[in-house]
Chain A
Amino acid sequence: MSAPPAITVTDLVKVYGSRTVVDHVSMEVAPGEIVGFLGPNGSGKTTTIRMMCGLLTPDGGSGKVLGHDILRAQRAIKREVGYMTQRFSFYEDLTIEENLRFVAGVYGLEKGAVAQALADLGLTSRKHQLAGALSGGWKQRLALAACIMHRPKLLMLDEPTAGVDPKARRDFWDEIHERAAEGLTVLVSTHYMDEAERCHRINYISYGRLISHGTVAEVVAHAGLTTVILRGGDIVAAQKRLRGQPGVDQVAPYGTDLHVIGANGAALRRAAEAVAAETGARLIPAETGLEDVFIQLMGAAQDNMS
C-alpha cells in the first residue's frame, strides 16, 4: 500500500464561452514526486493548475488535492499548497521585505520566517528595494521564495524559470530535488526540455487534452518515432528534398547535422537513404529526443482539431 496521492483529479473540464479549454484531464501525482506539465502555448496548463489549487471552479470533473476536495475544500487547499503564478503577481509597489512580510502574516508564520527567506534568497542587503525594480529573473526568485515560505506540502509552479539564467535555473532545480527528497510534491509547468528531463514524470497536454504521460523514456518510447541524422554533404539541398517525402514528418537542421524524424520507420529510412546518397551525406541512426516527440504530438493534435 503506497501513500495516498498528493493530487488525483479525474475528467477536469473548463469551458470559456463555446471553447472547451480543458477537456477531461485526469492526473495523478504521488507524494514526493516531481511532475512536469508540458504543452504548447494556450493548451490549458495554467487553467488546469488553477482548478487544482482552488482558483477556478471546474465545469466538470472532480478530484482531491492533498486529500481535500477541489470543489468544496478550496480554502484548505490554499493553506497547504504553494502556488507560483505564471505572471509575477506580488506587489510591485511594496519592497521585497514588505511582500514577504505580507505573505508571512497571511499564513500566520512566526517572526523569523521573513528574515530566513531573505537570507535564503541572498536578498537581505536589498530587502528595502521595491519589488517592481527587480529584474525579471529576480522577480521569479522572489515569487518562488514567497510561495515556499509557509512550507507547503505541495508546490504548483507555473513556468517558474521563464527568463531565469542557467545558473539560477540549475540552483532552482537542485533545490526542488532536495525538497522532494524531504517529501515535498511538485507539479511544474515548463517549456524547457532539459527541465522536463529532470522531472520524475511528465504530462503532456495539447488543446486541453492530456495526450501523453509517464517517465521521459516512456513518453519517448510510446511515441514510437524513428530518428536518423544526415551528416555532411549538402544539408540545404537535403532538407529541401526530404520535406514532404513519405515517412518524413520532421526535418530539422542542427549545425551541420540534419535530424529526420518520422512515425513510419521503414518509409523514413528509405527516403533518408535515397537523399543521403544524392547529397553525399552520411546516415547515422539516433535516439529520438523529447522535443521531437512533443513537436510530433503538437502536429498530430492540430490534425485532430481540423
Chain B
Amino acid sequence: MFLALREIRHEKLRYGLIIGMIVLVSYLVFILSGLAYGLAQQNTQAISSWRVDKIALNKDANDSLSQSVITKQDADKVKLTEHEAYLGQTGVVAKAKGQAKLSAQFLGIDRTQLIYRRLRVTAGHKPTKANQILVDDSFQDNGYRLGDKVTLNAADGQYRIVGFTHNAKLSVAPVIYGSLGTWRTLSHLTADFQASGIVSTQTNFKAKGLSTLSMNKFINKLPGYSAQNTTFSFMIGFLMVIAMVVIAVFLYILTMQKLPNYAVLRAQGIPAKVLVTTTVTQALLLVIAGLVIGAGLTLATVLTVPTGVPMSFNLPLLSAATGGILLTGVVGALIPVKVILNVDPVSVMGG
C-alpha cells in the first residue's frame, strides 16, 4: 500500500489519466446498461406490477395479447378465483383539450379483481365509474392533470383522469387503466366478448380451451422485446469485453514500465512478494477509484437526464459489470507477474 500510494502521489498525471480512462469506460458501461435495462423495463413494467405468473390467451392468438380475444362463452368455462383477473388490451391515442396527443395502451380491468386491487396510485384514486381512468404518470410529465377529460381514439365519449400510477408501461407506451366495458367500446366488440386474456398468480393455473403460458414466455413474445434485448445484450457484452481488454492492456503496460524500479527494489532486498502485492494493490486502487467516479458520474447523469429517457439499474447486472472490470484490472496488472518475479536486479547496476 505504501509504495502503491506513494507512486500514485508522485506521478499524478500518469495515474490521473489511467483513472480517467477507467472512469470513461465504466461510465459508458453503466449508462449503456442502464439505458438498455430501462428500455427493457418499459416493455414490461405494467405487467411486473401485477406480480402474476400465468396468462391465458386465445389459442389462435400466437401468444400475443393484442391478437387475442376471449369470448364470453370460452371465458365462462374458466372458473376465476381471487387469484385471477380479466384483462382487455387495445392500443389507443389519447387526446385532451390543449394537450398533445399521446399513444397509449388501454387496459380494461375488473374493479373486483386482482389487477385492480394491486394497482398503486401516486395521486388521486382508482377509477370507480366506467368513464374514469387511471393513467401512467408520464401523462403528468406531458401536461395532463387530474380531472382532465380525455378522448380515446375517435370514439365518442370522454374519460376523466381520476388518478396517476407510477411506472405503468407496456411495450414502451404509457398505460391507461379503465373498465372492461370501455375496452369493448374502444375495440368495437359486443358484450359477447369478455377480455383479451386472463392472468393468474397461481403457477399451476391452466385455462381450459385457452392457451396458457408463463409470464416469462409471454414477455419474451412481446413484439420487439426479445429482439431488442438480444441486441442490447450483445452490445453490452462486446462493450464489456473490449473495455476489459483495454483496461487490462493499460495496466499491463503500466506494470511493464515499472520494471526498472522493481529491479531497484529487488537489488535493495525487497522481497518479490512485496512487489506483487504492491502491483495488485495499485491496480485495485486505480480501478476502484475509476469505478467510484464512473458511478458518481452515472448518478449525476441519471439525476439530470429528462424523465422521458428510460434509464433504470439492475443490481446484479451492475455488480457483474463492476466485478468484471475489477477482475480484469487485477488480471491485467498480474499478467507480467512472472516478469516481476524474475526481474534482474543486475540490470540496473550500471557499469
Task: Tell whether A pairs with B.
Answer: no
Q: Which residues of B contact A (CB under 8 A)?
A: none
A residues sitting closer than 8 Å to B (CB atoms) are none
